[in-house]
A and B are shown apart, each in its own frame.
Chain A
Amino acid sequence: MKRQELMVAAIENGTVIDHIPSNKLFQVVRLLHLEQLKSAVMVGYNLPSSKMGLKSIIKVNGKFFSDAELNTLSVVAPNVTLCIIKDYEVVEKKCVTLPQVITGIVKCANPKCITNNEPMATRFHVSDGEAGIIRCDYCEKEQPLENVKIV
């Protein structure tokens, strides 16, 4: 932990998103629209992790996300750890949970689905939470979460 804190500076108030698989880092950035923030965002990429081998971490200063925003992360990185920081202290730890309905986040893998051919939001229901399978509300095709593409 000490080593990691040295590698990515601590924040005074805000949100830390830890244990992001490195290949999912930029999807997490896009899902939370971090590129639009005006506050300081620190990103650690390919940091050593005893649990994961290599991981990524994002520290967002002065920003607290809603549960709905954070739960969108479960689609690409279900095992991230979230820490809410106040006065440099962790005041709350959270896990993300997969919402039952996933709207406007995931692209349908079926090229013949209406959602890939019409300017509209996609919508999926979780058909098997344990196996991580979602079903498109429109074309009714299922796909595993591990292969999803973000819209």
Chain B
Amino acid sequence: MNSKRSFVTIANLSREKIMHLIGMAQEFEKCPNRKILDNRVVATLFFEPSTRTRLSFETAANRLGARVIGFTDPKVTSSTKGETLKDTIMMVSNYADVIVMRHYLEGAARYASEVSPVPVVNAGDGANQHPSQTMLDLYSIYKTQGTLDDLDIFLVGDLKYGRTVHSLLMAMRHFNPTFHFIAPKELAMPEEYKAYCREQHIRYVEHEDFNADIIAGADILYMTRVQRERFTDLMEYERVKDVYILRASMLKQARPNMKILHPLPRVNEIAYDVDNDPHAYYFEQARNGLFARQAIICDVLGITPEDMALQQIC
């Protein structure tokens, strides 16, 4: 089967593979429209809605010249009639050259990659993995800092349930980072990830405070949403809900190279007055998703940078 070519998790990617994908994303940014996938079909199977991720993947496929089939709502598919995931994957793989799949169950992407004769790209499987988000985060960090090595990365907000921060932490293990975990006690970085940092010799510091003095040490400030429904103690939520809001006034001592990232959607954790600050990068970050996903789709189909160069039509 094609599980080796599939893109299921970020955890097992080598430094070389990450840099290879970043290199491809850079090429796509220079010239996003390349008819590399002319006559190919990309299936986007979204078993749960995720508009931004789907639009990003479908735009990536379209700009590569592929045609896109799929569904955005499983209610219209045979899964409501009791069809298994395996049967859906086997059916779609008769039609498509690559399957991009979002699923609400954890491990669905791994299983799909094991049964599918065509490569599978994980566009998020429940609370487990969302590796294309991590790839675009890595690309954004690389683009803004000129390197992934030796950076001070500050993760802020919900570090307990936020899968993007967990995946980013694992992917950065190759690059000698120093992490700062800034979160309320109830949403602190889980022990298993701190143990992972210790095993991998990743330095980390924990804070509960979030202020200008702390931000002054960051190269990357990665914000996440503190959600009310995550708290068992609502008094605690009321106490901390305004602590983890980033405001423009907190950026006065920030390093010139510091950039603010956020996986979006934001609600109120970044005040609107930050949007015009030169440190704000979250909208460009989302745009980088297009190039990162073009790189991922091409890589699972075995397309090399040399193939890309031949198809430059911008």
Minimum C-beta distance from A131 to chain B (A): 12
A residues less than 8 Å from B107 (CB atoms): 113-115, 136-140
Q: Which of A117, A119, A141, A142 contacts B105 (CB 8 A)?
A: A117
* A36→B107 CA distance, assembly (Å): 33
* A139→B103 CA distance, assembly (Å): 12
Q: Sort chain B's interface into a size bin.
A: 10 to 19
- A96-134: which have CB < 8 Å to B? 110, 112-115, 117-120
Q: Is B247 an interface residue (CB 8 A)?
A: no
Is there contact, CB below 8 Å, between A118 and B106?
no
Q: Is B192 an interface residue (CB 8 A)?
A: yes
* A117→B125 CA distance, assembly (Å): 13
B residues less than 8 Å from A110 (CB atoms): 106
Minimum C-beta distance from A107 to chain B (A): 13
Is there contact, CB below 8 Å, between A142 and B192?
yes
- B102-135: which have CB < 8 Å to A? 103-108, 110-111, 125-129
- Classify the interface of chain A: helix, strand, loop or mixed: loop
Contacts A113-B106, A118-B85, A120-B86; A138 near B127 (Cβ below 8 A) = no
Q: Is B232 an interface residue (CB 8 A)?
A: no
B residues less than 8 Å from A141 (CB atoms): 106
- B80-118: which have CB < 8 Å to A? 84-86, 103-108, 110-111
Is there contact, CB below 8 Å, between B128 and A139?
yes
* A112→B107 CA distance, assembly (Å): 9
* A15→B245 CA distance, assembly (Å): 66
Is there contact, CB below 8 Å, between B106 and A140?
yes
Is there contact, CB below 8 Å, between B106 and A114?
yes
Minimum C-beta distance from A111 to chain B (A): 10
Q: Sort chain A's interface into a size bin.
A: 10 to 19
* A141→B126 CA distance, assembly (Å): 12
* A114→B128 CA distance, assembly (Å): 11
A residues less than 8 Å from B126 (CB atoms): 112, 139
Contacts A117-B105, A119-B84; A112 near B111 (Cβ below 8 A) = no
Beta-carbon nearest neighbor of A108 in chain B: B107
Is there contact, CB below 8 Å, between A138 and B111?
yes
Contacts A113-B106, A139-B107, A141-B106; A118 near B128 (Cβ below 8 A) = no
Is there contact, CB below 8 Å, between A139 and B86?
no
Q: Which of B9, B11, B111 contacts A114 (CB 8 A)?
A: B111
Is there contact, CB below 8 Å, between A118 and B86?
yes
Minimum C-beta distance from B1 to chain A (A): 14
Is there contact, CB below 8 Å, between B192 and A139?
no
* A120→B114 CA distance, assembly (Å): 11
Minimum C-beta distance from B34 to chain A (A): 35
B residues less than 8 Å from A137 (CB atoms): 107, 110
Minimum C-beta distance from A136 to chain B (A): 7
Contact with A along B243-264 (1 / 0, CB 8 A): 0000000000000000000000
Is there contact, CB below 8 Å, between A139 and B106?
yes
* A137→B109 CA distance, assembly (Å): 11
Is there contact, CB below 8 Å, between A112 and B86?
no
A residues less than 8 Å from B86 (CB atoms): 118, 120
Is there contact, CB below 8 Å, between B192 and A118?
no
* A113→B9 CA distance, assembly (Å): 16
- B49-108: which have CB < 8 Å to A? 84-86, 103-108
B residues less than 8 Å from A114 (CB atoms): 85, 103, 105-108, 110-111, 125
Beta-carbon nearest neighbor of B107 in chain A: A138
Identify 18 residue pairs between A and B in the complex whose beta-carbon atoms are under 8 Å apart, listed by A's number.
A112-B104, A112-B105, A112-B127, A114-B106, A114-B108, A115-B111, A118-B85, A118-B105, A118-B111, A119-B84, A120-B111, A138-B106, A138-B111, A139-B106, A139-B107, A140-B9, A140-B11, A140-B107
Interface residues of A (CB under 8 A from B): 110, 112-115, 117-120, 136-142
What 4 A-B pairs are tightest by C-beta distance, nearest first?
Answer: A138-B107, A139-B106, A139-B107, A114-B107
